[in-house]
Amino acid sequence: MATAHERRKGESALSDFAEYVERQQAVRGAGAAAPAASAASAPSTAPATAATAATAATASHDDALDDLDDILDALDLDEAAPRVPMRQLLLGDDNVAADKEALVGVIANRITEGSGEVVFDLGFEHSGDTLGLTREQWTQALARLEQAADAAGAECQVLLTRNVGGSLDVLVGADGAGDGSGKDSKDSKDSKDKKDSDVNNTNISNAERRRTDCTGKVMIRRRPAKVEDVIETRIAVVGNVDAGKSSLLGVLVKGDLDDGRGRARVNLFRHKHEFETGRTSSVGMEILGFSTKGDVIASETPGRKLSWEEIGKRSAKVITFTDLAGHERYLRTTMFGMMSTAPNYCLLMVAANNGLIGMSKEHLGIALALNVPIMVIITKIDICPPNILAETITQITRVLKSPGARKIPIFIKNRDECVNTATQFVSQRICPIFQVSNVTGENLDLVRMFLNILPHHGRYDAGGAFEFHVNDTYSVPFVGTVVSGIVRSGVAHAGDAIWIGPDANGNFASTSIRSIERKRLGVPAASAGQSASFALKKMRRKDVRKGQVVLHRKADDGSTTGAPAPPPKVYREFVAEVLILSHATTMKHKYQATLHVGPVHQTCAIIDMDRPILRTGERALVAFRFMQRPEFLVPGDRLLFREGRTKGLGIIKSVGYDPSQSLMPKQPGNGQQDE
């Protein structure tokens, strides 16, 4: 049996290995076209271990250089033309067209960098120094910012202000930041009266000026010209059974509060036994839309839920929730949902009266292994005694600060903390925590505000070769066979010729895309990072399955028309670098487990290792073989494998395996294998 020391060893290694896998994702982009390109070459599948190690070392070196480039870019050490001061852009002469055009350009660039939206710090220079705005100057600067945003095809929403007054104003602490009260400042008027005499005093420190100057945060969001321009963020909702996952999603999406007996969750269930037991057993999907002004897209009629088509047409940003099962019996389904939907964030639900029990820690471990930013919502605070709630908070804090997670818990209690944490959530070290009630509605407005501000997070290659992973299949009357999933890379258009496969024999079928839909709305194309559904021509539903991949059927000249080139290459064996998280004994040759790679889930067996046995907390190079059928794999793909509970994670280093080139190092002299 694994000792407590071994378990702690596995937990401690989890965070470091997850970050290592995240850095190695750059290898996937470079090698994505390799399997398809190798189809026309000789069928040699032997992995070059030395070449793989060299590739990994080169990728790590390139990552270090990329980090250095980012630092140098942030320092603005290049010889580019000096930027126009922000004060001149916001408060300059209205008759100077060049300043207005320059401000429009700044906003457009920031919106592009933010994938369609950006939180603008109004009242600060490019360098971060305060502008020393008075209330009149703040009003003038905000009006100029709104005009420039409108010219750039966007709209503004003021999130919070400091020293301006009004319902969005927050108190300012000694360091110039909000003190967390989220209430109007009582002495804001006195500070503004003092500002006029002090703003030009050069002896006043920058921190002192931050306490008295008018500043704020403004959300600038692009108006989508068409449906495919809508910002999409995917969130996987996990947690133990009876934590209130489906109920919270029902309250957020529909707008009505729960009655304490699960009325809000009814619209999310898909099967009869889910209605009877109140427990989710499938991968449910729900969407929440926000307008360019940050308003929730909801029905004006109380109790009526908008359709996906109505939400998609009226939204500028859509949050797609993946409601996953919390019961241990459905862990396989939950892991499939986590791996196949490629979530940008993970939402862990914890019942205040139960704490982290059952599958909560398992789901947290999966999210940490996938290196997905995590936020926590503590539910049922209306029925939980204060002492039990305090114990739950202490437990969550302890787990998040453990060596395996290494998170910084931040409890969100007001607008100031909500806005600041949401804008900084790109850092995966912080973990926001909300305490809500679906019955009384306490703090639900903070959750909606946080989701509205949540920045887009993910790594996608829209310029790469097209690759689409199938998560589900349907047969739609008068349409035919439809497959849904995530566009991993590239762009697909309606009418494109494609390969779909592999089938049980490793073969690909040739077909074309009849039409494309996103959120049940027809679109002409789908690009990397977007979820979409493809209607396929002349394909039967029994010929497609979850876990297949859709690729462009390119001709020999590189176009998508004409005679197709040979289909992509698939593999039954592959080599991966893995970390063992938890195992009662040891793993060795012929060990079998269920392996998840994206939407692919299949039983695998270990056929070779670089050491005789594997224990908890150890890393190794391992060769696997699929037991049922070959699959389409790419070096750099992330994997999880389990035997009941999660056993380990890893990253694919090479596809194919040659038994004559064993991974086990040989001892010099006698040729015997050693550890």
Please provide residue 224's backbone torsions phi and psi, each rounded to the nearest 5 degrees. Answer: -70, 125
DSSP string spanning 587-613? B-TT-EEEEEETTEEEEEEEEEESSS-
pLDDT grade, residue 14 (50/70/90)? confident
pLDDT digits (tens, 9 = 90+) for 155-178: 999 999 999 988 899 876 544 455
Read off the pTM.
0.84
User: What is the reported pLDDT for 575?
Assistant: 96
Whole-number average pLDDT of the chain? 82
Q: Is the pLDDT of residue 559 over 90?
A: no
User: What is the reported pLDDT for 261?
Assistant: 66
In 3D, which of 178, 27, 179 has the Cα closest to residue 655?
Answer: 27
pLDDT digits (tens, 9 = 90+) for 28-67: 654 444 444 343 333 333 444 444 444 444 444 555 555 5
- Residue 249, C-beta contacts closer than 8 angstroms, at least 6 positions apart: 237, 265, 268, 286, 321, 323
* Angstrom distance (rounded) from CA 245 to CA 361: 15
DSSP state, 629? -
* Same-fold call for 4-45+571-655 versus 467-552: yes
- Residue 485, C-beta contacts closer than 8 angstroms, at least 6 positions apart: 340, 468, 469, 470, 471, 472, 531, 532, 550, 599
User: What is the reported pLDDT for 245?
Assistant: 83
Instruction: Give the domain 467-552 fold.
Output: Elongation Factor Tu (Ef-tu); domain 3 (2.40.30)
User: What is the reported pLDDT for 413?
Assistant: 94
Instruction: Tell me the average pLDDT across 486-501.
Output: 94
11: part of which helix (H) or strand (E)?
helix 4-23
User: What is the reported pLDDT for 530?
Assistant: 92
Q: What residue has token string 């086990």?
A: 664
Tokens matching residue 93: 């002469």
Q: Is the pLDDT of residue 27 over 80?
A: no
Q: Is the pLDDT of residue 114 over 80?
A: yes
Q: Which residue has the higher pLDDT, 323 or 151?
A: 151
Q: Which residue has the higher pLDDT, 178 or 105?
A: 105
481: part of which helix (H) or strand (E)?
strand 480-489
Q: Which residue has the higher pLDDT, 488 or 174?
A: 488
Q: Where are the domains of the chain?
A: 4-45+571-655, 86-197+208-222, 227-453, 467-552
- Judged by average pLDDT, the poorest of 252-266, 429-443, 619-633 is 252-266
Which CATH number is 4-45+571-655 given? 2.40.30.10
DSSP 3-state assignment of 552?
strand
- Judged by average pLDDT, the poorest of 81-85, 102-106, 233-237, 521-525 is 81-85
Tell me which of 1.10.10.10, 3.30.230.70, 3.40.50.720, 3.40.50.300 is the CATH number of domain 227-453: 3.40.50.300
Q: Is the pLDDT of residue 291 over 70?
A: yes
pLDDT digits (tens, 9 = 90+) for 295-340: 999 888 776 778 889 999 999 999 999 988 877 888 888 888 899 8
Beta bridge partners of residue 461, listed in sequence order:
489
Q: Is the pLDDT of residue 285 over 80?
A: yes
pLDDT digits (tens, 9 = 90+) for 350-379: 999 999 988 888 899 889 888 899 999 999
